[in-house]
Amino acid sequence: MISILSGGTGTPKLLQGMVQVLKPEDITVIVNTVENDYFSGVYVAPDVDTVIYTLAEIINEDTWYGVKDDSFITHDRLKEIGCPETLRIGDRDRALKIQKTILMENKTLSQAIDIQRKELGIETLIIPMSDQGSHINIITDAGEMEFHEFLVENQGKPEVFDINYQKVDPAPGVIDSIENSDMVVIGPSNPITSIGPIISTYGVRKALKNAYVVAVSPIVGNQPVSGPAAKFMEANGHEVSSLGVAGIYQDFLDKFIIDLEDENYQEEIEKLISDVMLTETIMRNMTDKINLARCILGENV
């Protein structure tokens, strides 16, 4: 049994490989929730939804957001009649978001996710990091803004000075899952805005210190494979490199997997984490995803 901490782009790619290598029911995914919010009347849990759609094999892999081949009739009509529609939500995607919103009228987020994943035939357990609402604030040169305001409305352009979010209680099963896992995997996700919030959830850091934890660097060379991780790492005073990521995880990490390109950082990282492994970490196709999953699990590729 393994637990995987996930955001909404890098780690979902890895999950596609993991479910080919391990029995899906032997995996628990613990997902970031600080980007969750209501948009156009529906509850949007971006990373949770991406993990659900990935494991249900309906994810749009061009964007790692929403359902593949979706239509946008409702989105277009809402815009026509003057709704802001900050997010471009497709019709099938919206149906699942509406279902989650209705379920959450008398259930927790955890319970709503569990109902959805079972309906979609997903055997892997998916747990949100918390059932409590929490928000991420980005302090920028254009003022303080919420995550989607920064990333969608301002296209991630403002200069970032700081990032903060509330510390919340873990959802039921989060600590148990970490404690009962043979291995906890921190996927290649944004260390500040995806993994950071999960780790800061009450009790998680302590549980990680007692677990066997393996992480994959989301940074190759001096830039993220995708997304705004560089700006966030710099704002928090970290070098944008696998060495910078190692510094963030060093107090609980047992093994760190970095890209072959980052051999120049190996020696410095080994001063922080004794077990460092180099491999191809960019996941372009299913073979890459399966190879990385095997590497994490310690199997020969």
Which residues bind to ligand GDP, rule: CB under 6 A? Answer: 7-11, 13, 47, 188-190, 194, 216-218, 220, 224-227, 229, 281-283
Q: Which is nearer to ligand GDP, 33 or 74 (CB)?
A: 33
As a whole number of angstroms, the distance between CA 28 and CA 32 comes to 13
**Residue in the structure block whose two tokens are 């970032």:** 160
Query: In the complex, what is the shortest distance from the CB of residue 133 to ligand GDP, in angstroms, rounded to a whole number?
Result: 18
Ramachandran angles phi, psi of 175, nearest 5°: -70, -45
Q: At 301, which amino acid appears?
A: V
Q: Which is nearer to ligand GDP, 70 or 262 (CB)?
A: 262
Ramachandran angles phi, psi of 178, nearest 5°: -65, -45
As a whole number of angstroms, the distance between CA 244 and CA 259 comes to 14
Q: Which is nearer to ligand GDP, 22 or 282 (CB)?
A: 282
As a whole number of angstroms, the distance between CA 10 and CA 284 comes to 11
Q: Which is nearer to ligand GDP, 36 or 194 (CB)?
A: 194
2 close to 182: Cβ distance less than 8 angstroms: yes
Query: In the complex, what is the shortest distance from the CB of residue 12 to ligand GDP, in angstroms, rounded to a whole number?
Result: 7
Query: In the complex, what is the shortest distance from the CB of residue 250 to ligand GDP, in angstroms, rounded to a whole number?
Result: 18
Cα–Cα distance list, 80 to 84, 116, 300 (Å): 10, 31, 55
Q: At 144, which amino acid appears?
A: E
Query: In the complex, what is the shortest distance from the CB of residue 212 to ligand GDP, in angstroms, rounded to a whole number?
Result: 20
Q: Which is nearer to ligand GDP, 13 or 100 (CB)?
A: 13
HSE at residue 190, side-chain half, CA atoms within 13 A, is: 23
Q: Which is nearer to ligand GDP, 74 or 281 (CB)?
A: 281
DSSP 198-244: HHHSTTHHHHHHTS-EEEE-SEETTEESSSSHHHHHHHTT--SSHHH
Ramachandran angles phi, psi of 180, nearest 5°: -95, 5
Strands 42-44 and 136-140: unpaired
Query: In the complex, what is the shortest distance from the CB of residue 49 to ligand GDP, in angstroms, rounded to a whole number?
Result: 11
Query: In the complex, what is the shortest distance from the CB of residue 261 to ligand GDP, in angstroms, rounded to a whole number?
Result: 10
Query: In the complex, what is the shortest distance from the CB of residue 82 to ligand GDP, in angstroms, rounded to a whole number?
Result: 29
Q: Which is nearer to ligand GDP, 9 or 201 (CB)?
A: 9
